[in-house]
A and B are shown apart, each in its own frame.
Chain A
Amino acid sequence: MFKPRQLDKLVDAGIITPTQKLQILDFDNEVGHSLIYRILMTLGIFTLGVGVISIVAANWQDIGDMVKLIVMLLLLLFSACGVLYYLKQNKTKVAEKWALSEFLFSGAAIGLIIQVFQLSGGKIYAPLGVWALMTASLLFLPKQKLISYFWMPLFLTWLIMWIGDIWWDIFASFDSVLFLFAGLMALGKFLDWRKPDFSGGDVLFREALFCLYLWLFFYTIVGGLDSQKGLTVLFKLFLYIGGLSFIFMKLKYFKVVRSFVKLAGLAVVILYINLGVRFGLFETGIGLILSGALLIGLLIFIPKFIRRIFKEKIHA
């Protein structure tokens, strides 16, 4: 999104011509309309789906079980036909929206099955697994990306809950969770490399990376402030962050490296607090001078490091 005023400044500075300014604004308008259209379309389908489900849910005591199940089946078939119709018309973007409605109806269908057959007492994550299994086929629709963005978080949520349940200790082990996410990232990258048309691989890579980042963030704050193991945790974190940054720099994922640098910055702040509390740096005059010097040093070092990454990005 470009603002006309910003572009005027660039025109005044002689960086772009007035014609280029108009071209940029035209381009921006086209992209803007398309985005708004897509958001409204998605919202429309979602609202429609929720509305139908609400009508069924609100009046469920007045409707027989069989009728409810048949209505749900018809909704699933209707959305499936919508996907096919628009795929045949080569309108893949509209077909994606219909596939999304099918995905949401599938979730509602599982909720309905739970209510009609009075299924309870099982694992809380089981419905998520069934939902992911039921809709996994939609990932293979041609040229779709939208479903991947909904399906992968669902799958990861189920996977994390399932692993956490069968092997609770994994969550006590920082490394195991880290390797789980790293493994999923590698799987996503592999899928993306082997099947570039399949958007699921790329999305899995991104979502697993996001989980890994969150996990590191959580561990930095909770583990780093631990009075007993805090320093060991932070030392390990610096090793991991350094190692991961190195790998991603080699892979030329500079945006990811930037996120890791920010995380390293957070770890440094936590280290600073940890050391400050441990050695009483905040309690004496000398301690305050030392901690102030340390903070200034870090503030100089981190931007330099970021600049270095950007230089490598420019030369890449």
Chain B
Amino acid sequence: MLNNLRNYVPVFVPAVLFVVLCSYFFVQIALGTEVKVRIQGFDPRDLLAGHYIRYSIDWENTDCAQFLNKVCPQKDFEQSYKFYVPQEMALILEREIQNTQNQAEIVFSYQNGKKPFALQLLINGKSFEGKNARF
């Protein structure tokens, strides 16, 4: 019995931790409120680029009224982020984001004082929805 337990516990720990991690992120996202933050394209020259686009937050053009006390919580956000997309869409999206005519935004799930979770990429208010997306 003890021997069985010694085998069962170690082999199932990775799966249990996977569930715990996923649940934690789902709960954190559910507890946050959705905020829209303006973004700017980032230098795309990155050796590992392909499955994501890099962006930085454009606080000057972000509506700070959606946050507590109408103050943009800049310190809760990082300088730059990656948004994971299908590889064939990365270049197209990068161009769309860098196009100054477009208004690029990320919808975050945000809790005051905590790290935000990116949920959606919006270009001119339209959500990026897979490889057939058009803006």
Contacts and interface: CB of A to CB of B under 8 A. Distances in A.
A61 to B, nearest CB: 4
A106 B84 contact: no
Contact of A120 (B21, B81, B86): B81
A80 interface: yes
B80 A118 contact: no
B130 A106 contact: no
B113 interface: no
A105 B11 CA distance: 12
5 contacts: A113-B25, A118-B84, A138-B10, A138-B14, A141-B10
Interface in B14-70: 14-15, 17-19, 21-22, 25, 29, 51-52
Contact of B11 (A69, A120, A138): A138
B54 to A, nearest CB: 9
The number of chain B residues touching the other chain, given as a range, is: 35 or more
B130 A77 contact: no
A268 interface: no
B72 interface: no
B74 interface: no
Nearest to A74: B15
A78 to B, nearest CB: 10
A84 B130 contact: no
Given A62-B130, A69-B22, A115-B84, A121 B78 contact: yes
Given A84-B8, A118-B84, A142-B6, A109 B14 contact: yes
A130 B18 CA distance: 10
Interface string B1-12: 000001111111
Interface string B76-88: 0111111110100
Interface-central residue, B7, B8, B9, B115, by most chain A CB under 10 Å:
B7
Contacts of B84: 114-115, 118, 120
Contacts of B11: 80, 83-84, 99, 102, 137-138, 141
A97 to B, nearest CB: 13
Contacts of B18: 72-73, 76, 106, 109, 113, 134
A117 interface: yes
Contacts of A115: 51, 84
A60 B86 contact: yes
B10 A137 contact: yes
B37 to A, nearest CB: 13
Contacts of A130: 21
B1 to A, nearest CB: 14
A121 B130 contact: no
A137 B13 contact: yes
Given A113-B22, A142-B7, A121 B14 contact: no
A187 interface: no
B29 A134 contact: no
A102 B14 CA distance: 8
B6 A133 contact: no
B15 A73 contact: yes
Contacts of B81: 118, 120-121
A153 to B, nearest CB: 18
A52 to B, nearest CB: 15
Contacts of A106: 14, 18
A269 interface: no
A76 B22 contact: no
Nearest to A76: B15
A140 interface: yes
A118 to B, nearest CB: 4
A140 B18 CA distance: 19
Contacts of B89: 61
Contacts of A291: none
B92 interface: no
